[in-house]
């Protein structure tokens, strides 16, 4: 098969890690007989410098003509002084909005060989961590009505959490379908003890789950979930939650696995069109040094194969190669032990490509 992929390397270490994902995809293409056509385009700080805006129309057009988008990261010190609506990060919201990318998938996996990087006690991490956080990405309080006003209390500001039945059902569909292929367990996270929108969310989840009697469903309050994630993360498999709770919980889930340089993400729409990117940012502190960990970007490419192109075997082949590389002791600086030898970004990419 032939696929067109828009590459948005972005800023900082973005271009360095995206290059390694491309390297791995070329190798997978050769091995399985697929042709990946890559089109480079710019967004974020690089686009501000060149075009005066973080997400130029030209970039959007290239993405629209593609079958999927791979993004590195955007942002950096250089643009930190700019007003919020002109910052590089605005490109991310623009892309999510333009393509209706409402389903954000963030796997958090603790590789056995990297157990030492896990900040939790051995007795907890020994049980393993393999969680898929499914976060609703285009609704809820981040997109609800907001504003400021004078009330009898004086100056006030407000944001509104609003979810439609349709929005909840479509994210549940994503979560339950993923759970089917994993260990058939879904935990829905809300604040149904205080929020009307959460009560509504929970009602829809209960109704929706009736079509999946073989899937074990639990509800958990968001405050409890933050505790449970550090107390016993092994109890979770698929987590489904709102935009804001997902924002917080997916960051927590990623941190307990050790390194930010290892974790990928996918943002999908109803047609399985998606944007795939590492969860880390542009890491300006290490940009240009050749020491960034490319694994998150490489695993993001694997997610693209699985979720947008339905190439499960090809995706698994990449995941296995990453695991083998780590098991055989290959490390980038962020995951190397004290005094341990480490590989450069491109050397790590070479090792993984070589193991495919
Ligand atoms: P960050 O993820 O860029 O970096 C946090 C720390 O992790 C840094 O010490 C960095 O060196 C390290 N790190 C990150 N990725 C790594 C990798 N692949 N290999 C090795 N080490 C890695 O977060 P930050 O410092 O808070 O943000 C830096 C910039 O990135 C900011 O401008 C921020 O707005 C932006 N950002 C962008 C995205 C995105 O594009 N999706 C996400 C988060 C932050």
What pLDDT digit, counting tens, does each position of 30-83 carry?
A: 999 999 999 999 999 999 999 999 999 999 999 999 999 999 999 999 999 998
Instruction: Quote the pTM value.
Output: 0.94
Hey, which residues does 322 pair with through a beta bridge? none
- 263 neighbors 299 (Cβ within 8 angstroms): yes
Q: Is residue 243 helix, strand or coil?
A: helix
Which band of pLDDT confidence, cut at 50, 70 and 90, is reported for residue 278?
Answer: very high
> For position 189, which CATH number holds?
3.40.718.10
Res 83: pLDDT: 85
Indicate whether 317 and 215 sit together in one domain: no
Apex 247 CA angle, 242 and 248, nearest 5: 110
Q: Is 203 within the bounds of a domain?
A: yes
* Ligand 1 atom closest to the CA of 333, numbered from 1: 20
Res 259: pLDDT: 76
Q: Is residue 135 helix, strand or coil?
A: strand
How many of the other CB atoms lie within 10 Å of CB of 113? 16
Q: For residue 85, is pLDDT > 90?
A: no
Q: Is 112 within the bounds of a domain?
A: no
User: Can you give the residue range of the structural domain that contains 202?
Assistant: 119-256
Instruction: State in Å: Cα 14 to ligand 1 middle.
Output: 9
Instruction: Please write the tens of the pLDDT for every residue from 11-30.
Output: 999 999 999 999 999 999 99
Determine whether the shortest distance from the Cβ of 177 to ligand 1 is under 6 A.
no
Q: Mean pLDDT, the chain, as a whole number?
A: 95
Closest CA to 96 of 55, 58, 133, 65: 55
> 280, 287, 331, 343: which to mutate for ligand 1, most atoms within 8 A of CB?
280
> 258, 282, 290: which to mutate for ligand 1, most atoms within 8 A of CB?
282
Res 117: pLDDT: 81
- Radius of gyration of the chain from its Cα atoms, rounded to whole angstroms: 20
Indicate whether 143 and 216 sit together in one domain: yes
Q: Is residue 308 helix, strand or coil?
A: coil
Indicate whether 206 and 286 sit together in one domain: no
Closest CA to 325 of 309, 349, 290, 301: 349
Res 309: pLDDT: 98
> 281, 285, 334: which to mutate for ligand 1, most atoms within 8 A of CB?
281
Q: Is 114 within the bounds of a domain?
A: no
- Cα of first residue to Cα of last residue in the chain, in angstroms, is 19
Instruction: Please write the tens of the pLDDT for every residue from 110-163.
Output: 998 888 888 999 999 999 999 999 999 999 999 899 999 999 999 999 999 999
Indicate whether 248 and 272 sit together in one domain: no
Helix (H) or strand (E) holding 175: helix 165-181
Determine whether the shortest distance from the Cβ of 281 to ligand 1 is under 6 A.
yes
Indicate whether 196 and 311 sit together in one domain: no
Question: How remote is the C-alpha of 328 from its chain's centroid?
Answer: 26
Helix (H) or strand (E) holding 38: strand 35-40
Instruction: State in Å: Cα 295 to ligand 1 middle.
Output: 14
End residue of a domain, out of 256, 272, 297 = 256
Determine whether the shortest distance from the Cβ of 124 to ligand 1 is under 6 A.
no
End residue of a domain, out of 224, 256, 288 = 256
Indicate whether 233 and 267 sit together in one domain: no
Q: For residue 254, is pLDDT > 90?
A: no
Which band of pLDDT confidence, cut at 50, 70 and 90, is reported for residue 260?
Answer: confident
**How far is it, in rounded angstroms, from Cα 123 to Cα 120?**
8
Instruction: State in Å: Cα 278 to ligand 1 middle.
Output: 10
Instruction: Please write the tens of the pLDDT for every residue from 31-41.
Output: 999 999 999 99
Express as a percent the part of the chain with pLDDT over 90: 91
Q: For residue 210, is pLDDT > 90?
A: yes
- 21 neighbors 347 (Cβ within 8 angstroms): no
């Amino acid at each position: 098969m032939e696929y067109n992929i828009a590459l948005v390397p972005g800023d900082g270490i973005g271009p360095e890690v995206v290059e390694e994902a491309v390297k791995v995809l070329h190798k997978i293409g050769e091995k399985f007989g697929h042709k990946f056509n890559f089109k480079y385009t710019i967004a974020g700080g690089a686009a501000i410098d060149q075009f005066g805006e973080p997400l130029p129309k030209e970039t959007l057009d290239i993405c629209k003509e593609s079958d999927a988008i791979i993004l590195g990261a955007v942002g950096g010190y250089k643009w930190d002084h700019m007003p919020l609506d002109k910052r590089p990060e605005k490109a991310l919201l623009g892309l999510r909005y333009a393509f209706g990318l409402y389903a954000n998938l963030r796997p958090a996996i603790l590789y056995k060989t990297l157990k030492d990087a896990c900040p939790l006690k051995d007795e907890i991490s020994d049980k393993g961590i393999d969680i898929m956080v499914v976060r609703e990405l285009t609704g809820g309080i981040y997109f609800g009505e907001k504003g400021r006003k004078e009330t009898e209390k004086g100056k006030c500001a407000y944001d509104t959490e609003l979810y439609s039945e349709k929005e909840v059902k479509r994210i549940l569909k994503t979560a339950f379908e993923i759970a089917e292929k994993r260990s058939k367990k879904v935990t829905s996270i809300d604040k149904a003890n205080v929020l009307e929108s959460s009560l509504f969310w929970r009602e829809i989840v209960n109704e929706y789950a009736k079509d999946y009697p073989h899937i074990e469903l639990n509800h958990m309050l968001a405050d409890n979930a933050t505790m449970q994630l550090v107390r016993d993360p092994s109890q979770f498999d698929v987590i489904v939650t709102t935009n804001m709770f997902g924002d917080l919980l997916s960051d927590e889930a990623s941190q307990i696995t050790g390194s930010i340089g290892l974790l990928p993400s996918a943002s999908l729409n109803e047609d399985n069109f998606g944007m795939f990117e590492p969860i880390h940012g542009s890491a300006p502190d290490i940009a240009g040094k050749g020491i960034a960990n490319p694994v998150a970007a490489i695993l993001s490419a694997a997610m693209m194969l699985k979720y947008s192109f339905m190439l499960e075997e090809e995706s698994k082949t990449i995941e296995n190669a990453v695991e083998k590389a780590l098991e055989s002791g290959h490390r980038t600086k962020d995951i190397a032990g004290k005094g341990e030898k480490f590989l450069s970004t491109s050397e790590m990419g070479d090792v993984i490509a070589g193991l495919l």
